[in-house]
Amino acid sequence: MNRIPAFGLGTFRLKDQVVMDSVRNGLELGYCAIDTAQIYGNEAEVGEAIAASGVPRSDIFLTTKIWTENTSRGKLVPSLKESLTKLRVDEVDLTLIHWPAPEHGTPLEEFMSALADAKRQGLTKQIGISNFNIELTKQAIDVVGRENIATNQIELSPYLQNRKLVAFLREQGIQVTSYMTLAYGKVLKDPVIGEIAKRHHATPAQVTLAWALQLGYAVIPSSTKRENLASNLLSQQLRLTAEDMAQIAELERNGREVSPEGLAPIWD
């Protein structure tokens, strides 16, 4: 399983038994991709839930992300090995640089080269980036080649459509992974989304996720409730009309939810 699955399970902000239950429920319901990160502090619990699930490792696409403190050449590979131990796996399917962190001190060339080394060592099948703008993505391509950047995982929602960056990534053949697709739940109260949901006898979350999927993005929504995990999966069967898509396109408002100082780049 080398391609990035279109639909995955996010684990941001989920800890301890909560994340174990979410992963267990997700795998039982048919999710085949799990997204975690070093900074989430839940890799061990994710690993435990996967091990207990009985689902073959080959059937799960597992992603983790390198935190800024571990991006130096001396720390990246050892930190990823530690993540593998926590996750109880020999390799992950995808490893991302979590934030470009231009003020953190590790030059981009250094951490992209170290990430490529991790791939060469068989610690990760694919590598990629997260929260990179166009300029930094260009720099990453210069270091490892566009064919070696599996995805750029970026914040995307009906309120933050990031069209310039998305267009660039498409030109480069780099998969777009959307996080925060529901904008912390804000879009679920949007009247336009609500009307579209009524027309399709769907939920606002299903409409929003279907919108992202129809644009070709991979999505990684999270939930602590089994019924919501099941409901979200159904968005894969929902087909929005051209009119629906046009209405959602109008909701753009540069509504960014996540931009930590010192970690985030200058956004396009």
How is 191-219 classified by DSSP, letter by letter? HHHHHHHHHHT--HHHHHHHHHHHTT-EE
- Span 214-223, average pLDDT: 97
User: What's the token pair of residue 185?
Assistant: 């739940």
- Given a cut of 80, whether residue 5 has pLDDT beyond it is yes
- Given a cut of 80, whether residue 32 has pLDDT beyond it is yes
> What pLDDT sits at residue 190?
98
H/E stretch holding 243 reads helix 242-249
40 is catalytic: yes
Whether the Cβ atoms of residue 202 and residue 188 lie closer than 8 Å to each other: no
Distance (Å, whole) CA 192 – CA 199:
11
Q: Collect all residues with Cβ–Cβ distance below 8 Å to 11 and sequence separation of at least 6.
A: 19, 22, 23, 34, 35, 36, 40, 42, 46, 222
Q: Which residue of the set 31, 40, 179, 217 is catalytic?
A: 40
> What pLDDT sits at residue 104?
81
- Given a cut of 50, whether residue 35 has pLDDT beyond it is yes
In this structure, which topology does domain 9-184+217-224 adopt according to CATH?
A: TIM Barrel (3.20.20)
- Span 26-50, average pLDDT: 98
Domain boundaries, the chain: 9-184+217-224
Whether the Cβ atoms of residue 154 and residue 162 lie closer than 8 Å to each other: yes
Distance (Å, whole) CA 132 – CA 264:
8
Strands 124-130 and 9-10 come out as: unpaired
> What pLDDT sits at residue 255?
97
> What pLDDT sits at residue 105?
82
Sign of CA dihedral 98, 42, 182, 173: positive
> What pLDDT sits at residue 237?
97
pLDDT bin (cut points 50, 70, 90) of residue 101 is very high
- Given a cut of 70, whether residue 2 has pLDDT beyond it is no
φ, ψ of residue 262 to 5 degrees: the values are 90, -20
> What pLDDT sits at residue 250?
98
List the strands of the sheet with 33-35, edge to edge: 9-10, 33-35, 61-66, 92-97, 124-130, 151-155, 175-179, 218-219
Percent of all residues in the chain with a pLDDT value above 70, rounded to a whole number: 99
Taking alpha carbons only, the member of 87, 79, 62, 77 closest to residue 121 is: 77
The answer to whether the predicted template modeling score (pTM) of the entire model surpasses 0.85 is: yes
> What pLDDT sits at residue 1?
37
pLDDT, tens digit, 9 for 90 and up, residues 69-92: 999 999 999 999 999 999 999 999
Tell me the average pLDDT of the chain.
97
> What pLDDT sits at residue 109?
97
> What pLDDT sits at residue 102?
79
- Span 147-156, average pLDDT: 98
